[in-house]
Structure 1
Amino acid sequence: MNESRTNRNHKKPKKRRWLKITAAVVFVLIAGIGLYAYSIYGNARDTVNEEMHEPVDSIDRDMTKKKMEASEPLNILLLGVDEREHDSGRSDALMVLSLNPKEDSMQLVSIPRDTRTTIVGEGFEDKINHAYAFGGSDMSVATVENFLDIELDHYVRMNMEGLNELVDKLGTITVDNEIAWQDGTYDFNEGPVEMDGDKTMAYVRMRKQDPNGDFGRTERQRKVIQGIIEQGASVGSVGKINDYIDVLGNNMATNMDFDDMKSLLNGYRNTRKNIASYQMKGSGTNIDGTYYLMVPDEEIAKVHGMIKKERS
């Protein structure tokens, strides 16, 4: 009996030792995961706040923060800019993205780049995409606000060349293509088309084979934006986050800081469940040898109402 008790006493320390080792391994794993997550968080915060954050005078930052805290609808100006060396660039794509968290809805309205309107800060009429060349993102925001009589809460400017790299980091995106065409390198069939970065750039830049010209090109730009939103929201690999951040840091600018982006992610993520899109319409004309798109007042009033409704 004494011998049995002695054997049991010898076994207990061995079990406790293994428990301690297991606990230590678990602790190291948790600590490692925590440090990795913090490094991703830190890199994201620093990249956004130090490389991407560009405030503009035309947007009331304090008012926007209050709206986000209350989960109110937001309007975001998306600028796709073609910037090259020794060129101030022009906004190749202009879209107003309206987010309504109460309805879990998102609306994307395209403004044709040749639209003739008053350039705020310059005082004369010109193509709306020239506002960026004259005064950067700030003048673009002010001009779009004046044109549609709306209030913008944020802007996001993306170098169009950066779309190539971003799509490649995401893997691929898929769009619902409406017309079949070829460009000598790629075949674009009707229906769902899966694209990498290079194919995406060919898709958004084609105009000559599209019977709708620049209107068709703008429609494809909207489809690509939607594809990026869908794919970006579905990617679950944490290991790729820093890759995305690096691409965006090199190609994107916004008046949002890191805290704003967190609030947008937490409070507005479900708006992608119901996506609607619209393209402003008008008629082309030549003035002093330059082509413009003249958007009638009725069309401007219609889009103004659509955006206001999304905010209600």
Structure 2
Amino acid sequence: MAQSRLKRRKSRIRRTLKVFTMIGLLSFLIAGGAITYFVFQFANATSVAQQELERGEKSERRTEAVNPTKDNISILFLGVDDRDGNLDGRTDAMLLATFNRSESSIKILSIPRDSLVNIPGRANPDKINHAHAFGGLDLAVETVEELLDIPIDYYLKLNFKAFIEIIDALGGVEVDVPFTFSEQDSFGQHGAITLNEGTQLLNGEEALAYTRMRKNDPRGDIGRGERQQDVIQALIKKAATFSSISSYDDVFNSIGNHMTTNLSFGNMVALHNYAGSIDNMENLNFEGTDTRQNGVYYYQLDEASKQTISRIMRIHLGLEEAAVSTTPTN
């Protein structure tokens, strides 16, 4: 009788183990399928969006091509005021980020679009946002390289539609709005969006208005640049903690249709190591003065500020040794 009870107990244990084993296997297959789906969609989207620079895979300021899995790198982010999907024209936003591998740190520089700079091949200095209109991606990249004396390893260019759809797909971004203001929407309807002072969760249209507004900001393009940095930081933080893989479908579609980059799928995966760097991220900003030449407005960069920021970014990229502690210009 005891042996019979023992056999029945063993049988129940075996059945229970089989159930748990099947549940575990099913969970693994579901998770594995989701991960496989995510990787396939992401790889496909980045493949469609990938566009190399005419210069090739490396900057002329590098002796050899960099690898984000082991090297310090720089990425130039370009926002284009484009609604036709051709990603041409002037850049409405320009942000440069440097990534230091050993520190797992990121520095983000906002470059005012009206900055008066030398554009290679042009007879006279002009607004930096004209470089892309004059010579496309390569000239925009070359102009920033000359301005800061650093290599630009990668670029990422997107238009307003991609910006809006990516933020909406991530469920919005949280920022601290410095003051209440109204701004046009992506269709050009003036005063269509009002943002109130204080911490706000912004959808795509609201985030675009937040980053575009300049005329109502007493600090002009500098204040605008800092708001763009706020959104970039919020995006990195949100993407790093986002868990619903299926909601990335809209992101993948936007990447394929409204964004170009020379970052490969493998490069982007390597950048995931910086996902936890939100507390080790520093904003940099140029100092300068408003000026007019022949009735045209420009932002004249302060030479000392430009040299300081160049040195900070060169040190961060490991191109120069830090002799003394340098305080960034904010």
Shared fold by TM > 0.5? Answer: yes
- Which residue of the partner structure matches residue 32 of structure 2? 34
SS in 2 for 1:243: helix
CA contact (8 A) 1:165 1:197 kept: yes
- Which residue of the partner structure matches residue 64 of structure 2? 63
TM superposition score normalised by structure 2: 0.81
Shift of 1:120: 2.2
User: For 1:219-242, what per-residue CA distance to the aligned partner results, in whole angstroms no more than 9, with x for missing partners?
Assistant: 211211111111111212223233
Change (3 A) 1:7 1:204: closer
Pairwise CA RMSD: 2.8
CA contact (8 A) 1:172 1:196 kept: yes
- Which residue of the partner structure matches residue 119 of structure 2? 119
Shift of 1:293: 2.0
Moved more, 279-288 or 296-305: 279-288
Alpha-carbon distance between aligned partners in 2 of 1:10 and 1:99, rounded to the nearest angstrom: 62
TM superposition score normalised by structure 1: 0.85
Moved more, 189-198 or 24-33: 24-33
State the AA in 2 paired with 1:48.
T
Shift of 1:46: 1.4
- Which residue of the partner structure matches residue 305 of structure 1? 311
CA contact (8 A) 2:212 2:224 kept: yes
SS in 2 for 1:304: helix
Matches within 5 A, 1:12-23: 20=18, 23=21
User: For 1:36-58, what per-residue CA distance to the aligned partner results, in whole angstroms no more than 9, with x for missing partners?
Assistant: 32122111111112x11111134
User: For 1:251-304, what per-residue CA distance to the aligned partner results, in whole angstroms no more than 9, with x for missing partners?
Assistant: 2221110111111213x3333222221221322333333322222322221211
User: For 1:102-130, what per-residue CA distance to the aligned partner results, in whole angstroms no more than 9, with x for missing partners?
Assistant: 23322111111111222224454321111
5+ unaligned residues in a row in structure 1: which ranges? none
- Which residue of the partner structure matches residue 237 of structure 1? 244
CA contact (8 A) 2:74 2:96 kept: yes
Alpha-carbon distance between aligned partners in 2 of 1:28 and 1:247, rounded to the nearest angstrom: 32
Match of 2:45 among 41, 44, 47: 47
Matches within 5 A, 1:100-119: 100-119=100-119
State the AA in 2 paired with 1:274.
N
SS in 1 for 2:107: strand
Change (3 A) 1:9 1:172: closer
1:296 corresponds to 2:302:
yes
